[in-house]
Each structure stands twice: as C-alpha cells, then as structure tokens.
Amino acid sequence: MKFFVLGILFVIAIKGLFVFFTSICVPATGGAIFTRTHPSMIKKILENIKLEPNQVVYDLGCGDGRFLREVAKRYNVRAIGFEINPWAYFLARIYNLFSRAKVKVVFANFWKKKVCDANLIFCYLFPDVMRKLEKKLERELKPGTLVVSCNFPLPDWRPEKIIRAAFPYNDLIYIYQFRP
Ligand SMILES: C[S@@+](CC[C@H](N)C(=O)[O-])C[C@H]1O[C@@H](n2cnc3c(N)ncnc32)[C@H](O)[C@@H]1O
C-alpha cells in the first residue's frame, strides 16, 4: 500500500513538473509543447532525404533529441538541437549519454540562434509560429538547404514532397528545399 501511494505521488510529481515547465516556456514556444515525433515518422523522413557526412542538421525545438540521434547515426552529420523546456532538455542530455550518436543539445531559444550553416532544418512546432519561422529561414538559410516540418507546413513555401508514415502515425510531413 505504501509503495502504491508513493508510486502515485511520483507520477503526480512528474506530471506536475511537465505542466510547470511547459507553462513557463509558453512565451517562447508559442504553443509548441513538448511532444515527440514517433520513430516510424523519423524513419520515413530519413528514407526521404539525402545528407553527406559532416553536414549540419538543426532540430529547432529538439525535445528529447530523438531525431538528432537517428539522423546522426544514419548519415554521420553534425546534429545540433535547441531546446527551451528544461524537462525536455534534461531528457535529451540523459538519452545522449546512452547513445553512440554524436549530438549536441543546447539549452536555448532557437529564435535567438543563427542557423546559416544548416544543410537540414528539422522542426515539429505549432501553426502559430510557422510564418515567423518561414521569415527566419528566408533570412538565414543558404539556397538548397533542406527543411523538414512535421505536421505543420510553412505557409508560403511549396513543398518538394509531402510524405506520411503508416497508420496511426500518419501525420503529414513536409519536405522543402529552400529556393530564394
Ligand atoms: C512538438 S515538440 C517536438 C520535439 C522534437 N523536435 C521531436 O520532433 O520529437 C516541440 C519542441 O520545441 C520546443 N520549442 C518550441 N519553441 C522553442 C524555442 N523558441 N526554442 C527552443 N525550443 C523550443 C518545445 O519545448 C518542444 O520540446
């Protein structure tokens, strides 16, 4: 009984921390809360892009860093993530300890970071921020840079491809190549 009660308290504490960290981040995230891209979606994305070793990949709002680890393992790229939610950042750092992938996760607001050297931008954000993101990418990216957005399109860009993984993780994934 004692362990049961302690277990319940532990779960409540974890959920409380999640809600607390998510709410204090809202001014920066604009509603893009910490959820994870399903592995089958990541697999699908990696099958549909081509990268060379040592190219630079950013995940803008990297969550627990799962996309970065997979892309680094598959293509041997330099994978960098920005994450502002302390809980997600903490998880990313822990998972990275147990991964052979070389991934850098930075506790930062990606709106304040330059991504000019990117070869691939990955994001899974929220509709409210996609127009602002589009403008940032137009200012900073070099021609030819790949951009992959899960679930939410960049409003004025035309995707090269729209793909989806198998049901039930079949949200749309938009793949762009930046052409100024
Ligand atoms: C939907 S989750 C996606 C996580 C990860 N990219 C994935 O696909 O599994 C969005 C993440 O972006 C982070 N985020 C949103 N706005 C951010 C910002 N301005 N700077 C850093 N991280 C941000 C959130 O904290 C959240 O963890």
> 171 Cβ partners below 8 Å, 6+ apart?
41, 150, 151, 164
pLDDT tens sequence across 3-18: 888 898 988 888 888 8
Classified as helix, coil or strand, 175 is strand
Question: Which ligand 1 atom is nearest residue 88's CA?
Answer: 27
Token pair belonging to 90: 């903490």
* Gap from CA of 70 to ligand 1 centroid (Å): 17
* Gap from CA of 81 to ligand 1 centroid (Å): 9
Q: Which domains does the chain have, with CATH numbers?
A: 2-177 (3.40.50.150)
Q: Is the CB of 149 under 6 A from ligand 1?
A: no
Phi, psi dihedral angles at 20 (to 5 degrees): -60, -50
Predicted structure pTM score: 0.94
Q: How far apart are the first and last CA of the chain?
A: 63
Number of continuous H segments (helices) and E segments (strands) in the chain: 5, 7
CB 177 within 8 A of CB 145: yes
Question: Which ligand 1 atom is nearest residue 82's CA?
Answer: 21
* Gap from CA of 63 to ligand 1 centroid (Å): 5
pLDDT tens sequence across 104-150: 999 999 999 999 999 999 999 999 999 999 999 999 999 999 999 99
